[in-house]
Amino acid sequence: MDYVELGRTGIQVSRCCLGTMTWGSQNSEAEAHEQMDYALAQGVTFWDTAEMYASPPNPETQGSTERHIGSWLKKTGKRQEIVLASKVAGRGAAFGGLSWMRPDGGSTRQTKAQIDYAVEQSLKRLQTDYLDLYQLHWPDRPVRVFGGQTFKDYEQDFEAFGDILEALDAHVKKGTIRSVGVSNEFPWGVMRFLAESEQRGLPRIASIQNAYHLANRTFEYGLAEIAMREQVGLLAYSPLAQGALTGKYLDGKLPAGSRKALYNRMQRYEGPGAEEAIRGYVELAGHFGVDPAQLALKFCDTREFVTATIIGATSMVQLKTNIAAFDLAWTEEMEKAVNALHALQPNPCP
Q: Is the pLDDT of residue 47 over 80?
A: yes
Q: How far apart are CA 305 and CA 30, in angstroms?
A: 35
Q: Given this model, what pLDDT does residue 146 score?
A: 78
Which letter does DSSP use for residue 82 in this model?
S
Global confidence as pTM: 0.98
**25-29, 214-218, 254-258, 302-306: least confidently modelled range:** 254-258
Q: How far apart are CA 162 and CA 129, in angstroms?
A: 25
95 — pLDDT class (breaks 50, 70, 90): confident
Q: Which amino acid, residue 251?
A: D
Of the listed 3, 38, 53, 269, which one is catalytic?
53
Q: Is the pLDDT of residue 152 over 90?
A: no
Burial class (CB in 10 A: 0-12, 13-18, 19+), 164: buried
Contact 1, 296 (CB under 8 A): no
138 — pLDDT class (breaks 50, 70, 90): very high
Contact 207, 7 (CB under 8 A): yes
145 — pLDDT class (breaks 50, 70, 90): confident
Q: Is the pLDDT of residue 147 over 80?
A: no
Mean pLDDT on 112-139: 98
Q: Given this model, what pLDDT does residue 289 score?
A: 98
96 — pLDDT class (breaks 50, 70, 90): confident
Annotated catalytic residue 249? no
Pairing of strands 12-14, 3-5: antiparallel
Task: Render pLDDT for 212-260 as a digit per residue (tens, 0 to 9).
Answer: 999 999 999 999 999 999 999 999 999 999 999 999 999 999 999 999 9
